[in-house]
Amino acid sequence: MLSSIVIGTASTAPPYSLAATLGLIVARNGNILCGVKAPVIVLIAFIPMYMLAIAYKELNRAEPDCGTAFAWSSRAFGPVAGWIGGWAIIAADVILMANLAQIAGSYSFTFVGNLGWHSAAHLANSTAWTMGAGVLWIVVMAYVNYRGIDVSARLQYVLLSVELVVLVGVAFIALIRIYTSHGGPHSLQPSLSWLWPGGLDFGTSIAPAVLITIFIFWGFETAVTCNEESDDPSRTPGRAAVMSTVLLVLTYILVTVASIAFAGVGREEGGLSNPDSANDVFAAIGPPLFGHSFLGQIGLLLLSASILTSASACTQTSILPAARTSLSMASCKALPESFAKMHLKYQTPSVSTIVMGTVSVLFYILFTMISPNLLNALVGSIGLVIALYYAMTGYACVHYYRKTLTTSVRNFFMRGVFPLIGGATLTVVFVFALTQYAQADWLVDNDGHNVTIFGFGAVAVVGVASILIGVILMCIWWAMSPDFFRGRTLERRHAGTTPVPSSESAAIATPMVQPISATDLSSELMAAEPVLEPPLR
């Protein structure tokens, strides 16, 4: 249970996620988006996330499958929906890797600079050096995943501990300074009104901000992706996913309130509406918070270390679900069967892990070569893809359990009402946010130029294009290998019924065997050659 909670929580990379998104929630291009209302946006985003964590828990109870949204959507709605759900997981993780690698590469030099090698700090602004360091981080963390889930979990214990301790410490230091009249020149007194959305417009403020905020919760389901490697596959991962979201929202609200109160939401240097704060909130508020004393330098060092460890940890845990989703898809012939190959010693999806790491490196280099500013568009783009497959999972839970929802009050709410509300909320947010992201002036670079693709906002184009690429690849694979799409390898079914395979699937799934007696079986076992390799699950 502890390992599952650690993996689910670490997959969200709390310090990195807040550093990359808090400024975007507070302001857009220097103009107030949600301002001091950012804490309520975190709370609003948590509600559908918690409900969808319940959907993951309930679906995992019925069918623990490392393919999660792919397997469950296929069961509920058929192969097309399942394939798109699986692709969305892979696409979101691969796109995220580009942003993560950029942060990890940049903070590698920042961290070394804080240790005393001041010339290294200047390399954090070099595209070539940060890209090289980012690629190295992807390779290293892909290798950690290749070596096995136990190695990954042990590493995450250390990294997550550093992250949470530093985050909570930063929040308490900021609040103590505010309430002892030692805050910054633009500090604000925290107010309960920050937890109420009054005054915010849904279409132009709440919807796009919530979709950005979903990003900081995204990753809790990694624990469920590792369900087949858990001691109790049907119970432990689902419970860990729900507990991870609760732990995250408490941490996020505390740090968000403390950051806004200490730095303010103005455009001045260090304020959260300053364009520099959009890329990295903690880099903006860290120096004034800790000062220039020896202890202050230690604080800055720990802060940069927490962001570096969270970005590198999330680099590792982002490969986990992508590799295991492709493993599940390949085992059902929805991808080439080579993706289902397992390493006999480490018991990991070896080919899938290597391919996902390689593709992530290529996409990172591609995005960087097009424009480093494009990396800033990835958070919102990932939000679109996340909303897609999270909503599909919520709907899949309702559809899968539709025959048994009225058997108890608990089932009605946990398998029907909550997953439906979660899925519907993300669907509405997806539509409203997409219309905002598509505007040409939604994302502006450091020179004041709109970041667009084909005249549309880059955030919307990258998100929609990643989904459309999946549709194209699905059609190609359908023509090459139609078994999965004809229901031969993963048939539809729902709770409360026993699946009856079609004649085609029965020929594949049910081998023609003759009964064998216990005596004959014992003789055959005695005569069998010894197994040289450990059996796979």
User: 10 Å Cβ neighbour count for 36?
Assistant: 20
Which residue, 85, 66, 52, is CA-closest to 397?
A: 52
Per-residue pLDDT of the chain (537 residues; tens, 9 = 90+): 787 787 778 778 788 888 878 888 888 766 778 889 999 999 999 999 999 999 999 998 888 888 888 999 999 899 999 999 999 998 888 887 777 777 777 778 877 777 767 666 677 777 788 888 888 888 887 787 777 666 656 666 777 777 888 889 999 999 998 888 777 778 889 999 999 998 888 888 888 888 888 888 887 887 787 777 777 777 888 888 888 899 999 999 999 999 999 988 888 777 787 777 776 788 778 888 887 777 778 888 888 778 777 777 677 667 778 888 888 899 999 999 888 888 777 777 888 888 888 888 888 888 777 766 666 667 778 888 889 999 999 999 999 999 899 999 999 999 999 999 999 999 998 998 898 888 888 777 666 777 788 888 888 888 899 999 999 999 999 999 999 998 888 877 777 654 434 333 333 333 323 333 333 433 433 344 343 334 443
**What is the rounded end-to-end Cα distance, in angstroms, of the chain?**
20
What's residue 126's pLDDT?
Answer: 77
What's residue 514's pLDDT?
Answer: 35
What's residue 82's pLDDT?
Answer: 93
3-state helix, strand, coil in the chain (%, to 5): 75, 0, 25
What's residue 316's pLDDT?
Answer: 66
Contact 132, 123 (CB under 8 A): no
* Alpha carbon distance 142, 76 (integer Å): 32
For residue 148, give Cα distances in angstroms to 57, 122, 152, 222, 380.
24, 36, 7, 15, 31
| Structure letter (DSSP) for residue 529 | P
- Tokens for 46? 């948590």
For residue 310, give Cα distances in angstroms to 271, 305, 314, 401, 499.
24, 8, 6, 37, 43
- Each residue of 367-391: b (16+ CB within 10 Å) or e? bbeeeebbbbbbbbbbbbbbbbbbb
* Alpha carbon distance 200, 25 (integer Å): 12
Domains of the chain plus CATH, in order, are 1-67+96-373 (1.20.1740.10)
Exposed / middle / buried, residue 304 (Cβ in 10 Å: 0-12, 13-18, 19+): buried
What's residue 118's pLDDT?
Answer: 66
Contact 352, 346 (CB under 8 A): no
Q: In sequence order, which residues have a C-beta less than 8 Å from that of residue 230 and are 6 or more positions away?
A: 4, 64, 236, 237
* Alpha carbon distance 168, 515 (integer Å): 63
* Alpha carbon distance 349, 342 (integer Å): 5
Residue-wise DSSP of 52-82: HHHHHHHHHHH---TTTHHHHHHHHH-HHHH
| CA 181 to chain centroid | 38
What's residue 533's pLDDT?
Answer: 38
